[in-house]
Structures are given as structure tokens and as C-alpha cells.
């Protein structure tokens, strides 16, 4: 991979004015034309655009691209915009029904033969107020689309309501046409009602992200050089500052506990319900709640580098991504609105010329439908069919089907302490048949300790000095076995073998034993044995033990119940690997595997025809994580943004892996259900509307319900 491929710039912006999938697609297309943009995804549900580029693009260029498509970029947070829009929609909703309800009452009297004085003037002016004032945002959305030579959901609604209101204008002017002015007002009122309910439900579905944002402390108590307390805004906290956190307060930043002991509630971040005890030297996470003691912490990561900021960023990135199944829905919606407009015109023309011949058909249908139209006049019936057809179609449900499910799915995952970074994993997870699990740090805790050694204190000091230069968990355990440090030269780390170097002028090697059978007693206990050679002669050994994660046995059992077979892949000795595998219930073990060998293993398993999920620590296993169909990194605050992984487990182990697969499968199932019902609704409803078998009011109500039902179904992912 060259430097250009590795270098990526990611930008998120808030886009306003979008109302349906066509709008978001137009913005996406415009952003994609900006020089340097490699990928652009616009999420209708969250009103955000996510851009990946190979150069740092000034925000002004992205704003121009959005405005070129007819929409705007806001500096406000998406949740603040949602609140403003909600309040505005609430006012428009009240006005529309304040006008529409009396009009519909008068229309009922008019339809049963009770002449209402001034009905046509009331219908004309009242309909105009409901459509052109209460529905002005929809009219603006329709104008934006038409002025940029495309059509969206607003175009259909406005066309239907204005066409219905126009009949009231003709009737008011004295033309012999049946008036649908009240119906036009009802269409707009129902549309605004649907938007209002949709806004409330979308707000509820995305509450997990807002909850993460809300737990960030607003201020921090900083200690100056003399120990005085100073309250500063959270934005002013810098790395290295000493912060005082009292009981009941949230930790203002990621840091290291300098002294004292306390219990910390990390449930909002990791999903763990039990408080975690923290001692001096332990790392703490910003946003978690300090429960018991007043403590001092040293800020280590602040702002965008903090764990919480990275977590929110990754979740929002996943929510703005697309799954392959959405491509089909996008292709359909691309032609949907123009197609519906054409069908509406065709139905109008058809009934204008065929009304007389098909009157018996309408009379027969009226016996089964209480809402059947009694219209037989060609012009009125033509307008009736046109309005109903153009109102019944609903690309909005198609546009919300995928992003709403992703919002609830990724939000539910975040509450479990895991992040689905790549939306494609949601679709791929349903076909996973094999899970390849690294041992150290995945099945085990990754915090090994030295349990036995036959080295002299001098030899152990030399070995610890060598291992102090390595980040491998085993090396850290051995380095901690001696406090003495000796000068090291000619250090060489041999991948998959060990480390070699000179200490006090003599050569030492620490690593894989030449003859592992000599250590069978230790290996049978699941320990890892590291052999020490001095000037090419075996000097002794160090036995290291890494305890199992407490959820390893349960997690592997759950994966097996899901139909996923588990394979342990480790660079450790075969006997050690088999001992650990037997304790957790894994039958297939690949021991002595180097990092590049794990990638070969993944490819061999893929060649059998199944989908492979690889789980590792995200560093030595990077190639295998990238090569697997789904890569899962067992992460922490220090390595959260692991680029090689599709899913990052923030807290916990194998059981979280089972949670991730379960949520992914559930989310994809809901996406399929949403798309099916959105398509089925239109396939059934449009022919009925073209056949003049639906009333426009029922059509608008059904259209609004289809969008709301998609959102409600998406919330089932929780």
C-alpha cells in the first residue's frame, strides 16, 4: 500500500434542508465531484455528510458542493437543529390542523348534500393558508429539487396538495368542477403530522449518541503549582494538567490516577454495570463517574484524542456509512419520483377518456369500499386519480429503511461496549461460519505474569533489560520481573521467534524454545515458556501464565450456538495452546503460527467457502484482521481507532463478540424487513391509486404511516 492510499482525511458536516432519499443522493453526488474526495455518504436520518478524501479539503469547498445541490450546511450540532426543526414543525402542525379540521367537517356536510354558505371561499382561502403557510417548508423543499432538475418527496406532496387546492380555486371562480380544496389541506396536514412523528421517533432512535455526548464534563477543576483549584472550561484542558475530581463528578478527560483509590462507574461508556476500582497508576476514562474518593488525575488525552470523542466519531461514521443492500434501494429511488409523476399523469389522462366506459367498475367496487368515490364526471375523476397516485407513493420509507436501522443498531452496540466501524459488517455477519481467535489478549486477558523461573537474579536482570524494549504482552511481563536495568546494544526483534541483543558485551536471546518437550509440565498447565540462551547456550527459562478472560467460556459457547465454529490461532507452543483451548471449549487449534501465517489461515478457511471472522489485538494481527471477511479488535482506550478492524470491542472479550454478531444479524434482518415493506407498500398502493380505488386522504395517511412504521421497526434492534 502506498502513502497516498494510507493517507486519509475524514470530515463530517451537518446538512440542512433534506427531506427524502433523493435529496441525500443529490448532496452525495455533488460532494463526490469535489477534487480529492474518494468516498461520500450522506445520511438522511442523521442529516450528516461523511467525506473521505486523499487531501485536506477546506470546509468552504464542501459547503459550496452542498449548496450547489440546493441545500445548506449548518455550524450547529445535528441534535440542536433537530430540536429547532421539531419546535417549528410543532407550530406548523397546530396551524395546519386548526385550519384543516373545520374544512374537513364542512366538506362532510357538503358531500351529504347539506349546502354550506361560503364553502368554496372558505375552502379556497383556508386551503391556501394550510398549504402555502403551514406547508411552506415542503414547498421550499420542492422548489429546491425542481430548480436543480430533480424531484423529491416534497415534489409529490406539494404537487398533490396544490393540484387539489387548484380545484377549489376553479370552483370558487365558477368553473363546473368538483372541489378538492379541503383534501389538499388534509394532504398537507397529514404530511406535516408524519414529519412531526418521524422527527420525534428519529430523535428517540439516536438518543444513545446524544447520551454519550451529554456525559462529557463541561468544566474541569485544575490544580496549579501551589495546589490551588481553578475551574476552567473542558475545552481549555491540556495534556499533562493535574485535575482534581471529587465524588459524584464526571472525569473531565482521559488520564492516569496519581494517588488514592476510588470506584468509577463506566457503564455509559463500556456497558459494564458494576463499578470499577481504580488505584494509583491506573488509567481512567473521561466521561465516567467518580463514585467514592476525591482523586487527582493527570490528563493524558484531551479533545478529539479522548476515548469518548473517538468513540462518538466512530459511531457517527458507522451510522453514516452504507451497506451493500442499500445500493438496490438507491437505484430504485433514483427513478422513483419521476416514475410516479408519469404514472399519475397517465392515470389522470386514462380516467378522463375512460370514465364513462368504466363507471360499472367503480360502481361494483363501491360496494366493498366505504371510501369509494361517487365521482363520474371525467374531469373530476381524472383529477381525483392524479392526486391520489401522486400522493400515495413514498420514497421516504425507502430512504429511511437502511439508515434508521443502522442508527439503532450502532447505538445499541455502543451501549454494549462495542463499536461497529464498518457498516458492511452488518450484512456480512449473517454468513459468518468460522471465528478465528487469537489467544493472548483475546481468549486470555493479555496481562500475563511470571509464575516460575530458574534464572539467577543477574540473568533475570539481563533478560528483563532486553524485554523492556518490546511491547509484546509476554515481554512486558518478563520486564516487570526485575527492577534492575542493564545497558543493551545490538537489539534485534525476530518476528515470531523472540528478541536478541548484547548485555554487558555478551549475547542473549529470549524467545521460542528449541525443544519445547523439556517444558511439558508447564505447557500442560497452559503456561507459556520462554527460553533464555546466553552465548548460544541454554541458561534457563521463564514460565508465564496469562489468565483466561472471565467471559471466554461463555462467549465461545454462545458463538457455537450461533452456528459459528471457533479456531484458536496463536504463536504459542502447541501444548500450551491445546491446554487453553480445552479449558474454553475450542476443538480446532493452530499453534506456532506467525503473524503472516494467521493471514494464510484466514485465506485457507475462506477457500472452503465460508465467511471468516478474525479476532485479535489489532497490532500483530492487523494483516489477518484486514484479510478476514470481518475483523474484530479487542480494544481499549489506547487503541480504539484501530484501522484494520471492522468492529472494535471497547470492554470485555468473546461474549462481546457474540453480542456484536447478534446485533449485526438483527440489524440486517430489520433492514431487509424495512425494504420489503417499503417496496411492498408501493407495489400494492400505486395500482390501487391509479385505478381510482383509494381516496387521497387515505393515500396521504398510508404514505405517512409507511415512513413511521419503518422507524418503529428499526427501533426493534434494541
Q: What is the pLDDT of residues 310-357, one digit of tens each?
A: 766 666 665 555 666 666 666 676 677 788 888 989 999 999 999 888
Cβ-in-10-Å burial (0-12, 13-18, 19+) of 611 comes to: middle
Of the listed ranges 173-182, 573-582, 653-662, 697-706, the least confidently predicted one is 697-706
Distances (CA, A) of 551 to 213, 510, 584, 649: 29, 32, 10, 13
- Would you place residue 64 in the very low, low, confident or very high pLDDT band (cuts 50, 70, 90)? very high
CB 549 within 8 A of CB 445: yes
Q: Is the pLDDT of residue 215 over 80?
A: no
Q: Is the pLDDT of residue 599 over 80?
A: yes
Instruction: Compute the average pLDDT of residues 561-590.
Output: 88
CB 645 within 8 A of CB 632: yes
Residue, of 639 and 692, whose pLDDT is higher: 692
pLDDT of 3 reads: 42
- Would you place residue 637 in the very low, low, confident or very high pLDDT band (cuts 50, 70, 90)? very low
Q: What is the pLDDT of residues 80-92, one digit of tens each?
A: 666 777 788 889 9
Distances (CA, A) of 667 to 32, 124, 237, 504: 27, 47, 38, 60
Instruction: Compute the average pLDDT of residues 427-442.
Output: 85
CB 160 within 8 A of CB 387: yes
pLDDT of 289 reads: 84
pLDDT of 192 reads: 86
pLDDT of 638 reads: 42
Q: Is the pLDDT of residue 127 over 70?
A: yes
Instruction: Compute the average pLDDT of residues 466-475.
Output: 81
Residue, of 694 and 531, whose pLDDT is higher: 531
Dihedral (CA of 280, 282, 286, 289) sign: negative
Distances (CA, A) of 532 to 438, 484, 506, 542: 25, 17, 13, 8
| Distance, C-alpha 551 to centroid of its chain | 25
CB 565 within 8 A of CB 435: yes
Residue, of 540 and 685, whose pLDDT is higher: 540
Cell triple for 239? 495534556
Give the phi and the psi of residue 583 in degrees, each rounded to 5: -70, -30
* H helix runs in 9-49, sequence order: 21-32
* 539 Cβ contact partners less than 8 Å away, ≥ 6 residues apart: 455, 459, 532, 533
pTM over 0.75: no
pLDDT of 98 reads: 94
Gap between the Cα atoms of 304 and 200, Å rounded:
29
Residue 224: active-site member: no
In DSSP notation, 674-695 reads: HHHHHHHHHHHHHHHHHTT-S-
- Would you place residue 131 in the very low, low, confident or very high pLDDT band (cuts 50, 70, 90)? very high
Cβ-in-10-Å burial (0-12, 13-18, 19+) of 604 comes to: exposed
Residue, of 94 and 712, whose pLDDT is higher: 94
Strand partners, 614: 436, 631
CB 576 within 8 A of CB 523: yes
Instruction: Compute the average pLDDT of residues 455-473.
Output: 87
CB burial of 667-679 (b: ≥16 within 10 Å; e: otherwise) equals bbebbbbbbebbb
Residues in the chain: 718
CB 559 within 8 A of CB 661: yes
Q: Helix 378-392 vs helix 325-354: angle between axes, to the nearest 10 degrees?
A: 170
CB 606 within 8 A of CB 629: yes
- ∠ CA 678-693-103, nearest 5°, is 90
pLDDT of 31 reads: 92
Mean pLDDT of the chain: 82
* 283 Cβ contact partners less than 8 Å away, ≥ 6 residues apart: 254, 255, 256, 257, 300, 637, 638
Instruction: Compute the average pLDDT of residues 448-473.
Output: 87
Residue, of 211 and 520, whose pLDDT is higher: 520
Q: Is the pLDDT of residue 256 over 80?
A: yes
Q: What is the 3-state secondary structure (H, E, C) of 608-674?
A: CCCEEEEEECCCCCHHHHHHCCEEEEECCCCCCCCCCCCEEECCCCHHHHHHHHHHHHHHHHHHHHH
CB 436 within 8 A of CB 629: no
In DSSP notation, 184-213 reads: HHHHHHHHHHHHHHHHHHHHHHTHHHHHHH
Cell triple for 245? 475530581
Residue among 35, 26, 18 nearest 140 (CA): 18
Q: Is the pLDDT of residue 5 over 50?
A: no
CB atoms inside a 10 Å sphere around CB 276: 18
Among 438, 546, 617, 629, the one annotated catalytic: 438
Percent of the chain at pLDDT exceeding 90: 14
Q: Is the pLDDT of residue 210 over 50?
A: yes
Of the listed ranges 83-87, 382-386, 397-401, 617-621, the least confidently predicted one is 617-621
Gap between the Cα atoms of 195 and 197, Å rounded:
6
Cβ-in-10-Å burial (0-12, 13-18, 19+) of 4 comes to: exposed
Cell triple for 168? 377549489
Residue among 255, 250, 317 nearest 287 (CA): 250
Residue, of 194 and 531, whose pLDDT is higher: 531
Residue, of 579 and 208, whose pLDDT is higher: 579
Of the listed ranges 188-202, 456-470, 501-515, 536-550, the least confidently predicted one is 188-202
Helix (H, G, I), strand (E, B) or coil at 488: strand
pLDDT of 4 reads: 39
Q: Is the pLDDT of residue 235 over 90?
A: no
Q: What is the 3-state secondary structure (H, E, C) of 239-289?
A: CCCEEEECCCCECCCEEEEEECCEEEECHHHHCCCCCEEECCCCEECCCCE
Query: How large is the C-alpha radius of gyration of the chain?
Result: 33
Q: Is the pLDDT of residue 130 over 90?
A: yes
Helix (H, G, I), strand (E, B) or coil at 2: coil
pLDDT of 370 reads: 64
Amino acid at each position: 500500500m502506498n502513502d497516498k492510499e494510507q493517507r486519509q482525511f475524514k470530515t463530517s458536516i451537518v446538512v440542512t434542508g433534506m427531506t427524502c432519499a433523493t435529496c441525500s443522493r443529490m448532496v452525495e453526488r455533488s460532494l463526490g465531484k469535489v477534487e480529492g474526495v474518494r468516498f461520500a455518504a450522506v445520511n438522511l436520518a442523521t442529516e450528516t455528510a461523511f467525506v473521505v478524501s486523499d487531501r485536506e479539503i477546506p470546509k468552504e469547498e464542501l459547503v459550496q458542493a452542498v449548496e450547489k445541490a440546493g441545500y445548506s450546511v449548518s455550524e450547529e450540532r445535528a441534535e440542536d437543529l433537530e430540536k429547532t426543526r421539531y419546535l417549528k414543525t410543532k407550530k406548523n402542525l397546530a396551524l395546519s390542523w386548526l385550519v384543516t379540521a373545520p374544512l374537513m367537517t364542512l366538506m362532510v356536510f357538503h358531500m351529504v348534500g347539506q349546502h354550506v354558505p361560503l364553502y368554496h371561499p372558505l375552502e379556497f382561502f383556508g386551503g391556501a393558508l394550510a398549504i402555502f403557510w403551514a406547508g411552506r417548508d415542503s414547498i421550499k423543499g420542492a422548489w429546491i429539487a425542481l430548480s436543480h432538475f430533480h424531484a423529491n418527496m416534497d415534489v409529490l406532496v406539494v404537487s398533490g396538495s396544490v393540484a387539489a387546492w387548484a380545484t377549489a380555486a376553479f370552483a370558487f371562480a365558477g368553473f363546473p368542477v368538483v372541489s378538492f380544496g379541503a383534501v389538499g389541506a388534509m394532504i398537507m396536514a397529514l404530511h406535516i403530522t408524519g414529519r412531526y412523528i418521524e422527527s420525534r421517533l428519529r430523535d428517540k432512535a439516536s438518543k444513545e449518541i446524544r447520551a454519550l455526548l451529554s456525559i462529557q464534563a463541561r468544566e474541569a477543576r485544575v490544580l496549579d503549582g501551589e495546589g490551588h483549584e481553578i475551574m476552567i472550561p473542558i475545552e481549555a484542558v491540556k495534556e499533562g494538567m493535574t485535575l482534581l475530581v471529587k465524588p459524584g463528578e464526571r472525569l473531565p478527560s482521559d488520564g492516569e490516577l496519581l494517588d488514592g483509590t476510588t470506584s468509577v462507574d463506566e457503564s455509559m461508556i463500556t456497558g459494564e454495570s458494576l463499578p470499577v476500582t481504580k488505584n494509583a497508576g491506573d488509567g481512567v476514562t473521561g466521561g465516567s463517574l467518580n463514585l467514592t474518593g476525591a482523586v487527582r488525575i493527570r490528563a493524558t488525552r484531551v479533545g478529539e484524542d479522548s476515548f469518548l470523542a473517538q468513540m462518538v466519531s466512530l459511531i457517527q461514521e458507522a451510522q453514516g456509512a452504507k451497506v451493500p443492500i442499500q445500493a438496490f434501494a438507491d437505484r430504485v429511488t433514483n427513478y422513483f419520483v419521476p416514475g410516479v409523476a408519469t404514472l399519475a399523469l397517465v392515470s389522470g389522462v386514462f380516467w378522463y377518456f375512460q370514465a364513462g366506459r368504466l363507471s360499472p367498475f367503480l360502481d361494483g367496487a363501491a360496494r366493498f369500499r366505504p371510501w369509494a368515490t361517487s365521482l363520474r364526471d371525467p374531469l373530476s375523476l381524472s383529477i381525483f386519480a392524479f392526486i391520489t397516485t401522486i400522493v400515495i407513493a413514498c420514497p421516504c420509507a425507502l430512504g429511511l429503511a437502511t439508515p434508521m436501522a443502522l442508527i439503532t443498531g450502532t447505538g445499541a452496540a455502543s451501549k454494549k461496549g462495542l463499536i461497529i466501524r464498518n457498516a458492511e459488517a452488518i450484512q456480512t455477519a449473517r454468513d459468518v461460519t468460522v471465528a478465528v481467535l487469537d489467544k493472548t489478549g483475546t481468549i486470555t486477558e493479555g496481562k500475563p505474569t511470571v509464575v516460575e523461573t530458574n534464572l539467577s537474579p543477574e540473568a533475570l536482570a539481563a533478560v528483563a533489560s532486553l524485554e523492556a524494549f518490546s511491547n509484546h504482552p509476554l515481554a512486558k511481563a518478563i520486564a516487570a520481573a526485575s527492577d534492575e536495568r542493564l545497558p543493551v546494544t545490538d537489539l534485534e526483534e525476530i518476528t515470531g521467534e523472540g528478541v536478541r541483543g548484547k548485555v554487558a558485551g555478551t549475547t542473549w536471546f529470549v524467545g521460542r524454545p528449541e525443544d519445547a518437550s523439556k517444558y511439558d509440565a508447564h505447557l500442560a498447565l497452559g503456561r507459556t515458556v520462554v527460553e533464555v540462551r546466553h552465548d548460544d547456550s541454554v541458561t534457563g527459562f521463564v514460565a508465564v501464565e496469562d489468565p483466561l478472560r472471565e467471559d471466554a467460556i461463555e462467549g465461545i459457547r454462545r458463538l457455537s450456538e450461533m452456528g459459528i465454529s471457533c479456531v484458536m490461532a496463536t504463536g504459542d507452543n502447541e501444548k500450551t495452546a491445546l491446554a487453553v483451548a480445552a479449558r474454553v471449549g475450542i476443538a480446532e487449534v493452530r499453534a506456532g503460527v506467525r503473524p503472516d501465517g494467521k493471514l494464510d489461515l484466514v485465506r485457507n478457511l475462506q477457500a472452503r467457502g465460508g465467511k471468516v471472522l478474525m479476532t485479535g489485538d489489532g497490532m500483530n494481527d492487523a494483516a489477518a484482521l484486514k484479510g478476514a471477511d470481518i475483523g474484530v479488535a479487542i480494544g481499549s482506550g489506547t487503541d480504539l481507532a484501530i484501522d484494520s478492524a471492522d468492529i472494535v470491542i471497547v470492554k470485555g472479550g468473546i461474549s462481546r463478540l457474540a453480542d456484536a454478531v447478534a446485533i449485526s444479524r438483527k440489524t440486517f434482518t430489520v433492514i431487509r424487513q424495512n425494504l420489503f415493506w417499503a417496496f411492498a407498500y408501493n407495489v400494492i398502493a400505486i395500482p390501487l391509486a391509479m385505478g381510482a380505488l383509494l381516496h387521497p386522504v387515505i393515500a396521504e395517511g398510508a404514505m405517512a404511516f409507511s415512513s413511521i412504521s419503518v422507524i418503529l421497526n428499526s427501533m426493534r434492534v434494541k
